[in-house]
A = this chain, B = another copy of it.
Amino acid sequence: MNMENQRKKTSGRKKIEIKKLDKQTNKQVTFSKRRQGLFKKASELCVLCDVHAAIVVFSPADKLYCFGEPNTDAILNSYIRGTTEFESSKLAGNSQNYEEYNKQYEEALKMLEMEKKKLADAENLAKFCNTFGWWNDSIDDMSSDQLEQFMVSIYELKRKLIEKADEHVMKLHM
C-alpha cells in the first residue's frame, strides 16, 4: 500500500454515545443498518441454538419490520397464549423492564430457601431435645447419663454449626 499518498478514505468508525440521535437522516441510516444487524443476530441465534424467536420493530417512519423463526405469528401466538407448545410457567422474564424485578424475586426465593434450611436444622435440634424430654421435664430430672449425653450432643451440633457457618455468609439482620 502506498503509505505516502494513500490518504485514509474514511475517518473510520467512531465511538458514539447510546442516546437519541438528533439528525433525522443519520437516524434513518442508523436504523436501517442496525435493524439489519439485529435481524442477522437473531437469525444466527436461532440457527446456532436451534430455538424460535420473533422480533417486531417500528421504524422512525412507523413502518413495521419483523423477523420470525419459524415465523413471527407462530412465535407471537405462543407468547400470547403462554401455552400450547410453551407453558407460561416457564416464563423467565416478562421483558427487560421486569428484569430487575425478576432478579429481586429470584433473590428473595434464594434467601427463603436458605432460611428454610436453617429452620430445618433447628427442627432437628428440637426433635433431639424432645427425645430427651428436656422441655417437658426439668433438667434436674434428667439422669446424669442423659444429661451428659445431651451436652455431648449439643457440643457436636454446635461444632457442626460453626463449621457450616463458615460456608454461609448471611447478613440478614446483622
* Among candidates B123, B137, B172, residue contacting A116 with C-beta atoms closer than 8 Å: B172
Contact assessment for B45 and A122 in the assembled complex, using a CB-CB cutoff below 8 Å: no
Residues of B within 8 A of A116 (CB): 115, 172-173
Tell me if A's interface is mostly helix, strand, loop or mixed: helix
Which residue of the partner chain B has the closest CB to A29? B49
Contact residues, A50-92 vs B (CB, 8 A): 50-72, 75-76, 78-84, 86-88, 90-92
Asked if A96 lies at the interface with its beta carbon under 8 angstroms from chain B, I say yes
Q: For chain A, which range describes its interface: under 10, 10 to 19, 20 to 34, or 35 or more residues? A: 35 or more
Contact residues, A137-170 vs B (CB, 8 A): 137-138, 142-146, 148-158, 160-162, 164-166, 168-170
Contact assessment for A145 and B165 in the assembled complex, using a CB-CB cutoff below 8 Å: yes
Which residue of the partner chain B has the closest CB to A37? B41
A4, B111: Cα distance in complex, Å: 49
Residues of B within 8 A of A30 (CB): 48-49
A115, B117: Cα distance in complex, Å: 11
Contact assessment for B173 and A119 in the assembled complex, using a CB-CB cutoff below 8 Å: yes
Contact assessment for B90 and A64 in the assembled complex, using a CB-CB cutoff below 8 Å: yes
Which residue of the partner chain B has the closest CB to A123? B156
| 13 contacting pairs across A/B (C-beta < 8 A) | A21-B50, A49-B59, A58-B78, A66-B93, A80-B91, A91-B97, A108-B112, A115-B115, A118-B152, A122-B155, A126-B157, A135-B154, A149-B170
